[in-house]
Structure 1
């Protein structure tokens, strides 16, 4: 008999999520049927999109999310014991899966390729869903070219730090916007961003103008709000904007003021496109394998903020939404 620990959504969030919005319960799992396998969680992912997507859940439901897991029992020929996988199982310690879920547009389960000496947790980040978000959002939508200027907001997180490196691989000048000097120095000193801007400092707009003296050709937007409005005023004609997230608005309890950017979009003939990574479900392995190749070649670097303990997943989630993480935030189940 296997007892799974499961976090369920107890209350809908109002503002920043709280510990009391979740409840940890135990669930007795039944014996395996033919074609099923039992997966034990090794790492859980906490991501900004969860703050918005929670509205799709009914109260009392398992809180969603991806995890790295190891198959410990199996009656499936495709997934034998010992296989390491990424699964859309949510925040739970053990999961029985029958291989037939159609709830997710991207693969609900995929096998982790050989990562060599790199940690399995990267399958939630640079060689996982986060990496594919950066890969397809940057290359397919922004199409950065040699000599262009790429600005990335939320640059200190898993997606933003990855996008900036892809920009450098394509010969761009890269400016990262982040919320602390610590994150910014990592971007410049380790990831070879050309400049960083701490948006919390009062001279943000002046610094943005300084570092984008020749304008902005590509903007990868993770934040929305006033930051993005300021960047769009710096765009060049025919500039491209990929809208990946709106984290500046996620915890707002009152409507935010709208910023007048429509004039710039029209006058500069900008291409502004929002996206969800499941658009590229049919090319999923392409992104995974290309990012893994770049990683093994030393062309991509990463940083993780790892929180230890299944019991600490909620605090890790809240901390990520407050910007406490550098790089990808993950929870190591112990």
Structure 2
């Protein structure tokens, strides 16, 4: 089954989509695609078939998102916690992922036509090597596409992602790329797997569960959260419209919270910069207070140096991550 579905919406769907698009629309939607196993039990089919139906629903949902001008979608495909499931189910999920990423590579012309960029977020080292290589090839093949983005969270939990971001900052300090005083909430955000994406506007979880299950905890602190009782393989265009309507009804309060958070972050950074400059001036001025002009000049110099260090650190981090994918792609070519 294709990742990219062609085809138009029917007349009623088109009318509804146009009405929705008259209001504020989410640009980035995240899905916790829950309910595949319960769907399989309900339909008296094997778990693997339930997961296959779940993938088919993802492809259909991506088509709806395209028609609704939703430019970015993030999906929770496989949690690190899922490794605790039975060996047969985990092996089946790995094989299904391998088949689907191989299918994606067969569709590279279609992906290029629609400008679809595939990103895989998580610790790929936890996956079988052959799957790592196929995923890396899909990521590298589509990395220059920029019309729409699909982020697949695989071997992922949010707490692991945050812990890894802290490790990356510690690496930057150890390498002398940044100072300990450069570490901030904003920098941690830049070190997450999702650093190339804006935070989701809307997060949807299906199956009736009302928890996030360690998915995008950092990124969704100011997102609209919608929990729907439908099982993922039974998800419909109308379920998606209902979730978008919830986003629209809450858009003003969400935007206000985001704006306040940005202002608070900027204020925190300014205070941190001032504290660093005050300490520096006191040290070099033998305890004598500096005049306002000198303090301002020192603050501007400190801020410029900090921003330059952070820029260089993030470039080094990007190079390290890109090299990981490129090396796997080279291995795949040799294998």
Q: Answer whether TM exceeds 0.5 for this pair.
A: no
Q: TM-score, normalised by structure 1?
A: 0.27
- Relative to total residues, which structure has the larger strand share, 1 or 2? 1
Q: TM-score, normalised by structure 2?
A: 0.27
